[in-house]
Amino acid sequence: MFRKNTTHLQTSFFDIERQLSERKKKKIRESEEYSFYQLIFKKIKEENFAGLYSENGSRPNSAVNIMVSAIILAYRKGWTIKEMLEQIDFNLLTRTALGLNKMDDTAFCEATFFNFQNRLLKHFVETGENLLERVFDGLTLKAIINSIGNARENSIVIFIK
C-alpha cells in the first residue's frame, strides 16, 4: 500500500535541530546536505512510485523520497550499501539530507532497500520507464548539479545541453 512521506515536515520537541547550538544550526543550514534536502529531497514526487506498491490493504511502504535520496547520495559519495546505511544511522548531515529530524527515526532496513531496487528494476523491465530518471526530469539544473556534485558540473551541463 502506497503512502506519501510527510514526517519530515512535522516538527517535534525531540528534533535534532532543537538540541543544537545556534552556531551548529547555522552550519547545518549552510551545508550541502541541507541544500540537497531543499532542492532535491523535498521535490521528489513520491506518487510517481505508487505503482510499485499494492493497492490492497497491506503494510505501507517505507518513505520513497528517503530511499530515492539515499540512492542519489550513495552514488554521489561513492558509498557501498553498508556505508550508506551507516551514514544514514549516524551522520547528522546525511540525516538532514534525508529529512530525518530525530536520531531515533529509522529510514529503512537493508531488505526494504533491496526490495525497492528490485521493484524499480522490475518496473523498468515491464514498462521501459525509468522512475529514477523521472525524478531528475522534475528537478532544476541547479538541483541536478547539486545532487551529482560540483566536481562533475561541467560534464552534466554539456550532457544536458
pLDDT value of residue 16: 76
- Which residue in the block uniquely carries the three cell numbers 553498508? 82
What does the alpha-carbon distance between residue 136 and residue 43 come to, in Å, rounded to a whole number?
Answer: 10
* pLDDT for 114: 93
What whole-number percentage of the chain has pLDDT above 90? 52
pLDDT at 150 over 70: no
Residue with cell 533491496: 114
For residue 148, is pLDDT > 90? Answer: no
pLDDT at residue 161 greater than cutoff 50? no
Return the pLDDT at 113: 93
String of DSSP letters for 57-98: S-PPPPPHHHHHHHHHHHHHHT--HHHHHHHHHH-HHHHHHT
Q: If 0-12 CB within 10 Å is exposed, 13-18 middle and 19+ buried, where does residue 130 land?
A: middle
- Specify the pTM: 0.78
In this prediction, residue 153 has a pLDDT band, given cuts at 50, 70 and 90, of very low
Angle at 105 between CA 103 and CA 108, to 5 degrees: 130
User: E strand or H helix at 157, and its extent?
Assistant: helix 153-160
Would the pLDDT of 149 be above 70?
no
Mean pLDDT, the chain, integer? 81
Would you place residue 159 in the very low, low, confident or very high pLDDT band (cuts 50, 70, 90)? very low
How many CA within 13 A on the CB side of residue 9?
8
Higher pLDDT, 153 or 52: 52
Residue with the bigger pLDDT between 20 and 59: it is 20
Find the mean pLDDT for residues 24-33: 93
